[in-house]
Structures are given as C-alpha cells and as structure tokens.
C-alpha cells in the first residue's frame, strides 16, 4: 500500500518498494515518476517508453546506475522538471499481461499527468513530451483526448504542451508488426499475450489511421497562433536478425524537422554520456525549446501564444524578425 500512495504514483518506486529484484523484473513499472525536480523549473519534460519498454530500462544503458534523463539531462537543462511515465507495454510474458489498448494507455497518461500537476499546482507549466516508438502514438492520442475534454484540468495538458520529440515512432505503421504478431501467436500457447498493441501498429491499422487523422487535425487547429513544435528522430541501424523496425518514411511527419540517430530501434533511447552523439542531437532540440519557454514567465493554461511567436523569432506587432 505504501508504494501505491507514494509521492510519484508508480508501482515500482525503488525507494519505497521492498519487493525482491526477481519480482521487480517480472512486473512492469507503471505510473508517473519524477526523475529530477529541477531548479525553478519552467517546463515539465515527460518521457514515455514504447512497446515492450520500461519506465527506467528504456532510457538506461546496461550497467548504468540511472536512466540518462535522470543522470545526464539535468547537467544540460537545469530549469526543467523531468518525469517518466510507465505502462504495461508487454506483448508476451509468462505471467499475466495487461490487455489495455492504445486508447486505455493514452487516457492513463493524460490522467496521471493532469492529476499530478493539479495536485502540486503546476498545471500552468509548459510540457514537452519525449516518446519512443508506441509511446509517441500514446502521446498523440492523449493530446487529442485532452483537447476535447470539458474538464479544465484535463484540457490544460493540451493547452500547456509546447512540443513533442518522437523517437522511432511508427506514425504510418511498421512492417515488423506482422512479424511480431506471428511470433506472438506461436508463443501464445505457452504465454499470456496482448495482440491489440501489435495490430494497432500494422500499416493498414484502422486504429493507427484514426490516431494520425485526429492528431494532424489537432496540429492544424493550433498551427496559426500556438503551433505544437514537432521533431522526429529515426534509427539508422537495423536490429540484428529483425532488421529496421521503424523506417524513416514511417518515423517522420511531413513538414516537420527530423534527424537520424546512429543506433538501432532499441538503443536509440540509451545514451552513455554527455558526449554521446545521440545525447547531443536530442538535447540540442530540447534546449532550444526550453530556452524559448524560459524567456517568458509561466502563463495560465490556454494563454501561451506569445511564446510560440518568440520562439519563431517573429514580432507579432511589427512583423520584424
């Protein structure tokens, strides 16, 4: 009970949970956890893992004591609170796996972020999402739900979101989903499985088409006064045996900035040091966004328009650069 009601609302808070290491390996980390509080933060940077991912391990180089958003990012970006969201993204497991669909996970993300920020009265603070793979689709869907909510505290998540950094997100699906589904069917005789997450990632998936249609409509609705900043990263290297998981054409969004990272799909989220080329590339994007946000004081949710004009270097009154 103590870990459930702990400060960060996760099921695997290592400071409070006394379960054995073996049990911890068996159970996914779920919920929202603060990795770093920051110095007078002006923004919340929230990391969301992908399919079969983990709140900590997705962002941690094997052998490292802590995930890089906790150990490295604060050395580069000081005025940010850094959080991570975890959910049961397992597709196959010997034990019970969650049967949640993308919509369930996206609503859980929205609720967790909105609740946490309302409880500590930071729901006027800006938000940046950094999402890997399936996590990007969950963030997109969460923002769509937030934008339509009649509840002010839920809608504030959409209103306060400044940008999204996608890392290997299959916006247009992945051919590997069919391969993974075949393997899932083979192992389902022996293990618990969740087929819904894989089917949603197929290139002809109706769920994926819906998410993309609604998210692009959302982008257009904010394009004039308060556009969402988007940056897409894609993998350069294939996974051994498996190949390229999310190709460039699926990982990028037309009309938005993008860059490659010199890793495969699994390792593109793991940085060993501040000198890691991937860390430098990703944090350069985040630093630009945080700098733009920090140039003005926090504003109430829904009143953050001027920041976007400042970020783009345009004087709204004079029209000068």
Q: Looking at residues 164-193, what average pLDDT do you find?
A: 61
CB-neighbour burial class of residue 103 (10 A; exposed 0-12, middle 13-18, buried 19+): middle
CA-to-CA separations, 71 to 44, 52, 74, 310, in angstroms, rounded: 16, 23, 7, 30
Q: Which of 192-206, 241-255, 301-315 has the lowest mean pLDDT?
A: 301-315
More confident residue, 319 or 246: 246
Cα–Cα separations (whole angstroms), residue 235 to 44, 61, 231, 285: 26, 17, 14, 17
Residue 18 has pLDDT above 50, yes or no: no
Beta bridge partners of 131: 48, 166
pLDDT digits (tens, 9 = 90+) for 298-311: 554 444 444 444 44
Task: Single out the residue of 103, 144, 122 nearest to residue 228, CA to CA.
Answer: 144
Residues sharing a CB contact under 8 Å with residue 72, sequence separation 6 or more, in sequence order = 271, 273, 274, 279
- pLDDT tier, 208 (very low <50, low <70, confident <90, very high otherwise): confident
pLDDT at residue 192, as a whole number: 41
pLDDT at res. 232 = 99
Q: Give the separation between CA 222 and CA 319, rounded to whole angstroms.
A: 20
Helices (H) and strands (E) in the chain, counts: 12, 9
Residue 188 has pLDDT above 60, yes or no: no
- Asked if 103 and 20 count as a contact pair (C-beta separation under 8 A), the reply is no
The DSSP output letter for 302 is T
State pLDDT tens for residues 99-115.
Answer: 457 888 999 999 999 99
User: What's the chain's average pLDDT?
Assistant: 79
Question: 10 Å Cβ neighbour count for 276?
Answer: 19
| Cβ atoms within 10 Å of 171's Cβ, excluding its own | 22
Q: 266-294, pLDDT tens digit by residue?
A: 999 999 999 999 999 999 999 999 999 98
**First-to-final CA distance of the chain:** 56
User: Over the stretch 219-236, which tens digit does the pLDDT of each residue have?
Assistant: 998 866 688 999 999 999
Q: What average pLDDT does the segment 173-200 reach? A: 50
Give the domains, in start order, of the chain with CATH numbers. 25-311 (3.40.50.1820)
Q: Contact, 131 vs 171, CB < 8 A?
A: no
Predicted pLDDT at 52: 81
Buried-state track 196-234, b at ≥16 Cβ within 10 A, e below 16 = bbbbbbbeebebbeebbebbeebbeebeeebbbbbbbbb
Statement: residue 179 has pLDDT above 80: no
Confidence category of residue 175, pLDDT binned at 50, 70, 90: low
3-state secondary structure of 162: strand
Q: What are phi and psi of 291, to 5 degrees?
A: -65, -40
* Closest of 15, 73, 75, 13 to residue 46, by C-alpha: 73
Of the given ranges (14-18, 43-47, 270-274, 283-287), which has the lowest mean pLDDT?
14-18
Q: Is the pLDDT assigned to residue 42 strictly greater than 90? A: yes
Q: Order across the sheet with 161-167: list the strands.
A: 31-36, 80-86, 43-48, 126-132, 161-167, 229-235, 257-261
Tell me: pLDDT of 156 over 80: yes
- Measured CA to CA in angstroms, residue 202 lies from 165, 199, 244, 253, 268 at distances of 22, 6, 15, 17, 21
Task: Name the pLDDT band for 196 (thresholds 50, 70, 90).
Answer: low
pTM: predicted TM-score of the whole model, two decimal places: 0.81
Residue 41's pLDDT band (boundaries 50, 70, 90)?
A: very high
């Amino acid at each position: 009970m103590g870990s459930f009601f702990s400060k960060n609302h996760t099921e695997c808070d290592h400071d409070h949970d006394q379960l054995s290491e073996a049990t911890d390996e068996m159970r996914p980390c779920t919920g929202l956890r603060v990795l770093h509080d920051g110095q007078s933060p002006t923004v919340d940077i929230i990391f969301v893992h992908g399919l079969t991912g983990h709140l900590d391990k997705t962002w941690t180089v094997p052998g490292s004591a802590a995930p890089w958003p906790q150990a490295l990012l604060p050395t580069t970006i000081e005025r940010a609170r850094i959080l991570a969201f975890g959910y049961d993204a397992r597709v196959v497991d010997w034990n019970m796996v969650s049967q949640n669909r993308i919509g369930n996970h996206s609503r859980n993300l929205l609720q967790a972020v909105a609740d946490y920020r309302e409880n500590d009265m930071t729901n006027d603070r800006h938000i940046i999402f950094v999402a890997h793979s399936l996590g990007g689709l969950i963030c997109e869907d969460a923002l769509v739900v937030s934008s339509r909510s009649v509840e002010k505290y839920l809608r504030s998540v959409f209103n306060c979101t400044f940008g999204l950094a996608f890392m290997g997100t299959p916006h247009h699906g992945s051919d590997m989903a069919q391969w993974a589904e075949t393997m899932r069917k083979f192992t389902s005789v022996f293990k618990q499985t969740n087929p819904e997450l894989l089917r949603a990632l197929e290139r002809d998936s109706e769920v994926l088409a819906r998410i993309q249609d609604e998210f692009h409509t959302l982008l257009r609705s904010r394009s004039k006064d308060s556009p969402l900043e988007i940056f897409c990263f894609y993998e350069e290297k294939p996974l051994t045996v498996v190949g390229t998981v999310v190709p460039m054409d699926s990982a990028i969004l037309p009309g938005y900035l993008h860059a490659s990272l010199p890793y495969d799909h699994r390792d593109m989220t793991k940085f060993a040091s501040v000198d890691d080329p991937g860390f430098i590339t990703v944090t350069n994007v985040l630093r630009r966004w945080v700098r733009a946000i920090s140039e003005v004081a926090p504003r109430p949710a829904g009143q953050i328009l001027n920041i976007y004009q400042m970020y783009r270097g345009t004087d709204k009154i004079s029209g000068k650069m």
